[in-house]
Structure 1
C-alpha cells in the first residue's frame, strides 16, 4: 500500500484551501505566542523585504508540519511524505525551479523526508508599517543565541569587539529554560565594550487538536531559527548572520550506521548552510544578498570553550549553559536541570570543558561512569565507545552527508580528528573516575 503522506496548508487572509484534497490547515494558533509578538515590526528598526517575510513564513510552516506529521505513522517509522502549501508574497521568485529544488533538497537534508512544496500566491495580505530607526540604533552584527556554550562563546567574544554599533543576539525560547537563557545572556554581556541587544522569539508549537502527542523529533527547528535571524538582519541592514556551532557537532559524524544522515541533527552542517545560502542568493534582491555562516566551523568544542575563557568568562559561566538534547527539566517529575549528562551533546560538552579548563562542574542529572543505569540510558555512551575504537578516515567524512563544493576537506577532517582526541580524553578521565569505585566495591 502506498503511503499517501500528509497534506498541510498555511491559510492566507482569505482562508481558502489550495486544492480539492484532504488538506489539514496550519493556522496561526499552531504557535503558543500571538502572531503580533512574532511577526510585528515594532521590535525591528526597518522594513523587512517581502522575500524575507516569505522565508520566515515557509520556515514556520515547515516547522509545524514537521511536528504535526508523526513519524510513527509511516511504514518505516521515520520517512514521511509531506506536501506543504504556503502562500508567498513574492510568488514569482519562489516558483523558479532552482529555488524549489534548493528548498526541497534543504528540507530533505534536514529531515530525511520527501517534501513537495506548493508555493502559491498570497491573497489578502497587507504590508506592515516599519518603525524606521536611526543608523546608530541598528546593529552591525547579528547572531543566533541559544544559551548554549558555542553561542555564549561567540557572543562574549563579539561583545568585546571594537565597534560602537550594537551586536544583535536573536534568541528563541527553550521550553522551561527561559531563566537559564537569560542568565547566559547576562554572562555574555557583563564585560561588553559595545551595545548588545536581544531579540527574543517564542515559537513553541501548540497541539493540532487531535489530542495526540506532537512528533518529538524536530529537525527543522534550526531552519526556523535561521530564517528568524535572517528576517531580523534584513531590517537592520546586516548582510551576514552568524550561527555559532563547533565544527565537530556541526559535521556530526554518525557514531554508528544507525545514526546516519538525518538520523543525526544536520541543522548547521556545511551542506545545510550551503543549500540555505543558495536559497537566499536566489530570492533576495540583486546586490543585497545575505549569507548565513558558522564562525566556529573549524573549532572543536574544547577550542570554543577556550575561546570563551579567553573572552573573560569564568568556568562557572560555561557550566551554567545548555547543551543537552534531552533536558531533564522538560520531563515530568524530573529535577530542574538543564543537562542530562548522558546524551551525545552532553558528552561532547563534557569533553570540551575538560579539555579547556581541566574540570567540569556542571550539575548533570547522571554520569555514565558513576551510576547504575539501564542499558537504554547508556546508548550514546556505548556508541561513543564503539566510535572511538573504530578508525575514522577522510572517506568516512564524505559517505554520510556530502560536503558542499569549496569545502576544505582536510580542515574538516582535522576538526573531527581533534574532536575525537578530546572525546578520548573524556573516556580516559571516566576510566580513572570509575577505577577507585571498582576497587572499593
Structure 2
C-alpha cells in the first residue's frame, strides 16, 4: 500500500509514517522528504483576479493531489510491476461536499490510471483565492496542447464565431508553440498556461497516467473566469485516440493514457455535476478520425500553414524534440496527413518510413499496428474491437464503431504506402 498525504503547510503532521509520503499545497514546508505542489500559485491566482467557488477550488486541489501521488508512487514496487494500491489523504476546503462522491472518484481514478485507490478527504486544504473578479470576454474554454487536434479544435471554434479561452499545461517542448497558437487564434488575454509545479526528491514514476487531471483542473479553473452560468470546456481529441482500442490481445493500452476516453469523461462530468462545479465537458470529435478532422477543418489555409509544426509524438523528448515517426501517435498523425487532401506532411521524422525504421527501445508499435490492421482485414472490425465498445450506449455504438473502423483504414493506407503490408 502506497500512502500519500496532501495538505496545507500548517496541517502537515509532525511525523510521517515509514511508508508515507507528503506534499504541501502552494508553499514549501522546508522539511526533508516533503514535496511541494504549485509553489506560490495561490497568491498568483489571487493577484490575477481569480475568485473560484469552493467546489471549483477543491476540484483543483484534488486533481493536483492525484498528480503528485501519481508521480511519486513507483509502479515498479507493485507486485505485478504496474498496478498500484494507493491510499490518498487529500486536504480540501470543504471535504463534506465530496464525501458522497468518494466511491465514484475512486472508480474514476481506476479507469484513468489502472490502479486501486482509497480516498480520504480532510479539511486540510486551503480556501479559494479571493481575487478581484471581473468576467473575461471569452465564451468557452478549449484545451490547447500544441498538438494537431487541439489546433484544429481552436481553428474551428474561431471560424464558427466562438471566442475560446485557451488553456495549456506547460510542456517544455511545446510552451512557445502553445502561446503562439493561442495568440494567433484568440489574441492577447485569451490564454492561461500553467504547470502543476510538483517537486520532490527521489525517483519519479514515468508513466504519468494521472497527469491529465491537472489539465482538467486548469480548464475548470479557467472556466470560473467566464460570465456564462455553465460554460463549455472543449476537449479536442480524435475518436480513435479517445477510445484507444488495444491494438493486439493483451496490450491493455496502446497509447499513454485514457485521458479523453468517453467513459472517463462521463464519470468526470457526473462528479463535477454532483459536487456543484458548473461546466459542460465536450468531446466534439469523438466520432471523427484525425484524417477526417483535417479534411473537415473550417480554416484550411491556416491548417496548411501550421499543421506540420504541431506536436504529436509520444517520444518527442527522447528524440531531442523531433517526431520519431514510428510510435502510435506518430503513425496516427502520418496516416491523417496521408488521408488529408489539403497539403503534404512537412514534419521532420527520425524514421520517415516504417519499413526501413529500426526497432527502437520499448514496444514495437509498427508491428502492433500491422497486426491490428491484419486482424480487422481478415477477421472483421468487430473481432479487432472485441469489448472496446462495451462502454458505449446502444445509440452511440455505431458511431464509435465507424470512427474506429475508419481509423484502422487510415492506418492501413499508411502501412501500405510504406511497404509494410
TM-score with structure 2 length normalisation?
0.88
1:345 correspondence with 2:329: yes
- Please report how far the alpha carbon of residue 263 of structure 1 lies from its aligned counterpart in structure 2 after TM superposition: 7.4
1:42 correspondence with 2:39: no
The structure with the largest helix share of the pair is 1
User: How many pairs were matched up?
Assistant: 406
Indicate conservation of the 8 Å contact 2:42/2:129, yes or no: no
Deviates more, 1:410-419 or 1:224-233: 224-233
1:169 correspondence with 2:160: no
Match of residue 218 from structure 1: 208
1:423 correspondence with 2:411: yes
Indicate conservation of the 8 Å contact 2:244/2:253, yes or no: no
Match of residue 439 from structure 1: none
- Please report how far the alpha carbon of residue 179 of structure 1 lies from its aligned counterpart in structure 2 after TM superposition: 2.6
Stretches of structure 1 lacking an aligned partner (at least 5 in a row): 436-441
- Please report how far the alpha carbon of residue 336 of structure 1 lies from its aligned counterpart in structure 2 after TM superposition: 3.7
- Please report how far the alpha carbon of residue 376 of structure 1 lies from its aligned counterpart in structure 2 after TM superposition: 4.1
Matches within 5 A, 1:124-273: 125-133=126-134, 135=135, 137-163=136-162, 166-186=163-183, 189=185, 197-206=190-199, 208-210=200-202, 212=203, 214-238=204-228, 239=230, 240-260=232-252, 265-273=257-265
Q: Secondary structure at the match of 1:418?
A: helix
TM-score with structure 1 length normalisation?
0.84
Match of residue 52 from structure 1: 56
2:329 & 2:14 partners in 1: Cα distance?
A: 41
Q: Secondary structure at the match of 1:256?
A: coil
1:354 & 1:308 partners in 2: Cα distance?
A: 15
- Please report how far the alpha carbon of residue 269 of structure 1 lies from its aligned counterpart in structure 2 after TM superposition: 0.5
2:298 & 2:158 partners in 1: Cα distance?
A: 14
Stretches of structure 2 lacking an aligned partner (at least 5 in a row): 29-34
Q: Cα RMSD (Å) of the superposition?
A: 2.8
1:171 & 1:18 partners in 2: Cα distance?
A: 36
Indicate conservation of the 8 Å contact 2:328/2:365, yes or no: yes
Match of residue 17 from structure 1: 13
Q: Secondary structure at the match of 1:348?
A: helix
Match of residue 414 from structure 1: 402
- Please report how far the alpha carbon of residue 249 of structure 1 lies from its aligned counterpart in structure 2 after TM superposition: 0.7
1:159 & 1:26 partners in 2: Cα distance?
A: 40
1:364 & 1:341 partners in 2: Cα distance?
A: 5
2:42 & 2:227 partners in 1: Cα distance?
A: 21
Indicate conservation of the 8 Å contact 1:146/1:172, yes or no: yes
- Please report how far the alpha carbon of residue 198 of structure 1 lies from its aligned counterpart in structure 2 after TM superposition: 0.6
Q: Say if 1:41 and 1:356 are closer, same or farther in 2 by CA, change over 3 A.
A: farther
